[in-house]
Amino acid sequence: LEVIYLVFNEGYSATAGDDWMRPALCDEALRLGRILAELAPNEPEVHGLVALMEIQASRFAARTGPSGEPILLLDQNRARWDRLMIRRGLAALERGEALGKRKGPYLLQAAIAACHARARKADDTDWARIASYYSELAQVMPSPVVELNRAVAVGMAEGPAAGLALVDALIAEPSLKNYHLLPSVRGDLLFKLGRLDEARAEFERAAALTRNERERKLLLERAGKKGSEDAR
């Protein structure tokens, strides 16, 4: 399961190169996941993985602009999400949950993705529930990256100061030292708090760390935006 999801993730957000996404990798991972679900119908985590990939893949058309530039989740046109893939994903999630076992990491991540999929507008997102799922995920799969994602959800549910406190607790984490999403998340929270100079510095640091050219350009644009807003 882990290998299949690693392949999917590389297609969903390419770690390096000029392309933001590599859809062929996602398609292959989905194909393998669906086959595995047929071969192991009583394994809830298999259904969880398929659900997670189906729901994430439903956003493909909305994740890039006309020139291939990245569009972040909260800025996406949700009318462009593939509702058929969402229905497939939600059905797979239900199959996994119906098996009655404790949720593992893939079912929990699928439940988080489902919260986004059910929100027709970004403002409708149930961030408190998402934060709760991340707390559960941290119990079954302890990871600084999970804690960073939880900080994002807490920041949306309880306010940027609450999220920033959680992010700041991760700054000294060795495994996140060169992880570009740590300064990216921190920059976003600082911006929301009006700490614009600090936000700009964090986006610039994130841009220096990422190996994806599309993502680097986006982060530098965000750094520039913070600078121009600071000047007004």
Which residues does residue 64 pair with via DSSP β-bridges, in sequence order?
Answer: 70
Q: DSSP of 36-95, one letter per residue?
A: HHHH-TT-HHHHHHHHHHHHHHTTGGGSB-TTS-B--GGGS-GGGS-HHHHHHHHHHHHH
Q: DSSP of 175-232, one letter per residue?
A: GGTT-THHHHHHHHHHHHTT-HHHHHHHHHHHHHH-EEHHHHHHHHHHHHHHHHHHH-
Q: Is 100 exposed, middle or buried (0-12, 13-18, 19+ CB in 10 A)?
A: exposed
Mean pLDDT in residue range 65-83 = 94
pTM: predicted TM-score of the whole model, two decimal places = 0.92
Which among 193, 156, 152, 157 has a CA at the least distance from the CA of 170?
152
Question: In this model, does residue 178 exceed pLDDT 70?
Answer: yes
Within 10 A of 60 (CB to CB), how many other CB atoms are there?
Answer: 18
Mean pLDDT in residue range 13-18 = 85
Q: Any idea how long the chain is?
A: 232
Mean pLDDT in residue range 95-103 = 92
Q: For 122-161, how does the pLDDT look when each residue is reduced to its tens digit (9 = 90+)?
A: 999 999 999 999 999 999 999 999 999 999 999 999 999 9
Which strand (E) or helix (H) includes residue 137? Answer: helix 127-140
Q: For 208-225, how does the pLDDT look when each residue is reduced to its tens digit (9 = 90+)?
A: 999 999 999 999 999 986
Which residues does residue 212 pair with via DSSP β-bridges, in sequence order?
Answer: 17
Confidence of residue 63 (pLDDT cuts 50, 70, 90): very high
Task: Output the CA angle 43-113-9, nearest 5 degrees.
Answer: 80
Within 10 A of 175 (CB to CB), how many other CB atoms are there?
Answer: 10
Q: Is 161 exposed, middle or buried (0-12, 13-18, 19+ CB in 10 A)?
A: exposed
Share of the chain above pLDDT 70, in %: 97
Share of the chain above pLDDT 90, in %: 89
Exposure on the CB side of residue 214, measured as CA atoms within 13 A: 19
Question: In this model, does residue 107 exceed pLDDT 80?
Answer: yes
Residue with tokens 């194909």: 31
Q: How far apart are CA 71 and CA 134, in angstroms?
A: 23
Q: How far apart are CA 11 and CA 19, in angstroms?
A: 10
Q: How far apart are CA 156 and CA 73, in angstroms?
A: 13
Question: In this model, does residue 18 exceed pLDDT 90?
Answer: no
DSSP state, 59? T
